Amino acid sequence: MSSRFIRQKENFVCENCGQKVQGDGYTNHCPQCLFSKHVDINPGDRLNVCQGLMKPKELAMKHGRTIIVHQCVRCKTIKKNISSKNDNLEVLTYAPIAQW
């Protein structure tokens, strides 16, 4: 399988909080609650059969960018995603994500 990124411009409703999210082709999590969904094997391919919710577990910094570490509630896979300019910065900055 290729690890090449496949851009998928898709709108979705967050399965965790119900927020309507307008995708831009790079959107991979809800900007309100930061939850994602385990849909890809490689970014954008939509080939993962798991389909579990990806819970935000912690934040990290890499090259000056905020990274959200997600863990699948179904299969326990861990994935890292770059935060978006539309993310709820209060949640990113002040919420105790490790306790979610």
pTM over 0.85: no
| pLDDT 10s digits, 12-67 | 999 999 999 998 888 889 999 999 999 998 888 889 999 999 998 888 888 888 89
Can you give the pLDDT at residue 75? 97
- CB-based contact 97:90 (threshold 8 Å): no
What are the boundaries of each domain within the chain?
Answer: 12-93
- Give the pLDDT band (50/70/90) at residue 79: very high
Q: What's the start-to-end Cα distance of the chain, in Å?
A: 33
